[in-house]
Chains A and B, each alone.
Chain A
């Protein structure tokens, strides 16, 4: 088949959607199809011109090229997924979140700063509501995105998972004496929960963090004074190889973000056959964790997190078993590019 993958790109900014798009293109290629990326330039920072850019996408014609039909268009991000095509499948990696759940979040580019921001918000929602259903099928990258799509736009979609980058390079090693907490360090990932939790652990738990503590919020800075702070190690910037090795040799992985859409970390941990300790309000990651079987789900408090860490630290056999179960679960979930290709076509 001749396939075009339509995505929106902000010039000079390489988003994860584009990385995914390339992964998808490769996957189509491997499956014997001809696939190309179509990247439509998108400027989201002038909200009053977003309607113009929606219309621009609607005016493009991807039905054929030089007399040869384009068999399928895969739409990934807003507003490129609005380009019309009779055989379009949307894999909704990104809506314009500023018009949805980020409407009232204090981001610098929030629509709320604009006097007519709500008009633009409604216009974007109307365009999505009206035009997404044109597609033959709508997929979402996770259950939480599918749920959001249903709640805001009344559109039903099926979750379709994809593997993290370089999935095949993750490996399992013997469990060492540390938990691994991957980065980046920011308020979304809530590393401070873990730094405070360690003070409450009974066991001599150790945690190795990717990144530097400089980016932590105020709460965590004071963790320096807390008990257990000598059992925390900040590893700074890590190469991909170093990261994979840390996964491979840890006892378990700590991943406690607030409302994450997807959660590559969970999958990376599963690929490394390591148990995950996640928090109940994390969103995306929880879709992959079978509580108590492939990971532990703590409440988002230092106390609860400490308890989970203690549990695994004290019972290495259980930790290993949970890790293995995680790897098995990954297989069961059919998280592979081959599966993605099959569904999208």
Chain B
């Protein structure tokens, strides 16, 4: 089949969405299809620009090229998923969150504009009226599907996909540290983990890796020092792929308690490395994968609860190992592979 993947690019920004599109394309090509990525440049401010770009997408014509039909259009992000096509399938990485859960949220900014409310309505209307026209409506996670139902009354099916290089993860006997691999920012809540660490009864050690936003690394180091746990944490900064795989493999367990994460590749990476995961009840994406006290621990987002979770893992290595194995089994049971994705998107 000839398949186009429609997504959005913010110039000079390369992140998870780009990785996702590339991964999908590669999987399609490996499955024998012709697949290309169509990336529409997007600038989400001021709000009227969003309307312009929505219309621009509606004006594009991707039904065929050189007389040969494009068999399927897979829309990943707003507003590219509005591009019309008779055989469109949506696999939503993102709605325009500014108009949904980030509306009037400190991290949003659409509501700060005078015409923000009007544009929000237009985004809601476009999603509600145009998304159902696709042949299939999927999301990358249950979290997003729930939002679609809550805000737009639409039913979407979560369709999970593997993290990059899923095949390269491996496991080793656990050593004495927990691993927190995410990039360092307030949403990922390293600060909460540091505060919890100060309350653990055992000598839990943590390795943090990932680039930090400016100034944050110093803040975190300060927080560790104040809690008297500076000697039990290591800050590795940005690490290579090999180092990351190694850290996963040798860890006792993986810490990942972000605030309302959309998906959470880290959870899946941990499961692939056969390690238990500690996450929180308000972490969003990870909750779709972590089963409390079966593949890891879902703690309350409090210092005490997290501290208790870390102690539990630290003090029962055998159980931690069993939870890790169960996590790996769950990964397989959930059919988190590109084959499953393609089967669903192309049916």
A-side residues, CB < 8 A to B, are 2, 4, 10-13, 34, 36, 38-41, 43, 45-46, 49, 52-53, 55-57, 59-66, 68, 70
Q: Which one of B52-60, B99-107, B293-301 is at the A interface?
A: B52-60
Beyond A2-B12, A36-B12, A70-B11, whether A12 also contacts B36 by CB under 8 A is yes
Flag if B65 contacts A10 (CB, 8 Å).
yes
Flag if A56 contacts B60 (CB, 8 Å).
yes
**What residues on A are CB-neighbors of B36 within 8 Å?**
11-12
**What residues on B are CB-neighbors of A70 within 8 Å?**
11
Q: Which one of B37-45, B120-128, B304-312 is at the A interface?
A: B37-45
Nearest-Cβ distance from residue B9 to partner chain A, whole angstroms: 8
Provide the bound-state CA to CA distance between A62 and B56, in Å.
13
Beyond A12-B65, A45-B64, whether A65 also contacts B10 by CB under 8 A is yes
Q: Which residue of the partner chain, among A12, A41, A45, contacts B2 with CB atoms under 8 Å?
A: A12
Provide the bound-state CA to CA distance between A39 and B12, in Å.
14
Flag if A61 contacts B49 (CB, 8 Å).
yes
Provide the bound-state CA to CA distance between A99 and B67, in Å.
19
Residue from B9, B43, B49 whose CB has the most chain A CB atoms within 10 Å = B43
Flag if A41 contacts B12 (CB, 8 Å).
no
Flag if B53 contacts A60 (CB, 8 Å).
yes
Closest 9 CB pairs of A and B: A56-B59, A59-B56, A56-B56, A52-B59, A59-B52, A43-B61, A61-B43, A65-B11, A41-B38
Q: Find the A residue at minimum CB distance from B34.
A: A12
Chain B 1-42: CB-based contact to A (< 8 A → 1; otherwise 0): 010100001111100000000000000000000101011110
Q: Does B232 contact A (CB under 8 A)?
A: no
Flag if B13 contacts A66 (CB, 8 Å).
yes
Provide the bound-state CA to CA distance between A183 and B12, in Å.
38
Provide the bound-state CA to CA distance between A65 and B66, in Å.
33
Return 15 A-B CB contacts under 8 Å, by A number. A2-B12, A11-B65, A12-B34, A12-B68, A13-B66, A36-B11, A38-B41, A40-B40, A46-B61, A46-B63, A52-B60, A55-B56, A59-B53, A60-B56, A65-B11
**What residues on B are CB-neighbors of A43 within 8 Å?**
60-65
**What residues on B are CB-neighbors of A11 within 8 Å?**
4, 36, 38, 62, 65, 70
Q: Which of B162-196 contact A (CB under 8 A)?
A: none
Flag if B43 contacts A65 (CB, 8 Å).
yes
Residue from B49, B52, B59, B67 whose CB has the most chain A CB atoms within 10 Å = B59
**What residues on B are CB-neighbors of A12 within 8 Å?**
2, 34, 36, 65-66, 68
Q: Which residue of the partner chain, among B11, B52, B57, B68, contacts A62 with CB atoms under 8 Å?
A: B11
Provide the bound-state CA to CA distance between A244 and B67, in Å.
35
Provide the bound-state CA to CA distance between A29 and B117, in Å.
41
Residue from A2, A39, A57, A64 whose CB has the most chain B CB atoms within 10 Å = A39
Beyond A12-B34, A65-B43, whether A53 also contacts B10 by CB under 8 A is no
Flag if A61 contacts B52 (CB, 8 Å).
yes
Nearest-Cβ distance from residue B310 to partner chain A, whole angstroms: 36
Residue from A11, A39, A55 whose CB has the most chain B CB atoms within 10 Å = A11
Counting contact residues on chain B (CB < 8 A from A), the size range is 20 to 34
Provide the bound-state CA to CA distance between A40 and B60, in Å.
9
Q: Find the A residue at minimum CB distance from B50.
A: A61
Nearest-Cβ distance from residue B259 to partner chain A, whole angstroms: 22
**What residues on A are CB-neighbors of B67 within 8 Å?**
45
Beyond A10-B65, A45-B65, A65-B43, whether A34 also contacts B12 by CB under 8 A is yes
Nearest-Cβ distance from residue B32 to partner chain A, whole angstroms: 15
Provide the bound-state CA to CA distance between A64 and B60, in Å.
22
Nearest-Cβ distance from residue B127 to partner chain A, whole angstroms: 19
**What residues on A are CB-neighbors of B11 within 8 Å?**
2, 4, 36, 38, 62, 65, 70
**What residues on A are CB-neighbors of B4 within 8 Å?**
11, 41
Provide the bound-state CA to CA distance between A305 and B64, in Å.
44
Flag if B64 contacts A61 (CB, 8 Å).
no
Residue from A41, A64, A66 whose CB has the most chain B CB atoms within 10 Å = A41
Provide the bound-state CA to CA distance between A49 and B52, in Å.
18
Provide the bound-state CA to CA distance between A45 and B69, in Å.
11
**What residues on A are CB-neighbors of B10 within 8 Å?**
65-66
Provide the bound-state CA to CA distance between A68 and B13, in Å.
11
**What residues on B are CB-neighbors of A63 within 8 Å?**
43
Provide the bound-state CA to CA distance between A56 and B80, in Å.
12
Provide the bound-state CA to CA distance between A295 and B26, in Å.
48
Beyond A11-B38, A65-B43, whether A41 also contacts B49 by CB under 8 A is no
Flag if A53 contacts B66 (CB, 8 Å).
no
Flag if B52 contacts A53 (CB, 8 Å).
no
**What residues on B are CB-neighbors of A39 within 8 Å?**
38-39
**What residues on B are CB-neighbors of A62 within 8 Å?**
11, 41, 43
Nearest-Cβ distance from residue A37 to partner chain B, whole angstroms: 9
Nearest-Cβ distance from residue B177 to partner chain A, whole angstroms: 35
Q: Find the B residue at minimum CB distance from A14.
A: B36
Flag if A64 contacts B64 (CB, 8 Å).
no
Provide the bound-state CA to CA distance between A59 and B56, in Å.
6
Nearest-Cβ distance from residue B35 to partner chain A, whole angstroms: 9
Q: Find the A residue at minimum CB distance from B14.
A: A36
Q: Find the A residue at minimum CB distance from B48.
A: A61
Beyond A2-B12, A65-B11, whether A59 also contacts B55 by CB under 8 A is yes
**What residues on A are CB-neighbors of B13 within 8 Å?**
65-66
Nearest-Cβ distance from residue A13 to partner chain B, whole angstroms: 6
**What residues on A are CB-neighbors of B66 within 8 Å?**
10, 12-13, 45
**What residues on A are CB-neighbors of B56 within 8 Å?**
55-57, 59-60
Beyond A59-B55, A59-B56, whether A64 also contacts B43 by CB under 8 A is yes
**What residues on A are CB-neighbors of B59 within 8 Å?**
52-53, 55-56, 59
Provide the bound-state CA to CA distance between A213 and B2, in Å.
33
**What residues on A are CB-neighbors of B60 within 8 Å?**
41, 43, 52-53, 56
Provide the bound-state CA to CA distance between A60 and B67, in Å.
27
**What residues on B are CB-neighbors of A64 within 8 Å?**
43
**What residues on B are CB-neighbors of A2 within 8 Å?**
11-12
Q: A65-B10, A68-B12 are in contact. List 19 more A-B contacts (CB 8 A).
A: A11-B38, A12-B65, A12-B66, A34-B12, A43-B63, A43-B64, A45-B66, A52-B60, A53-B59, A56-B56, A56-B60, A59-B52, A59-B55, A59-B59, A60-B41, A61-B41, A61-B53, A65-B11, A65-B12
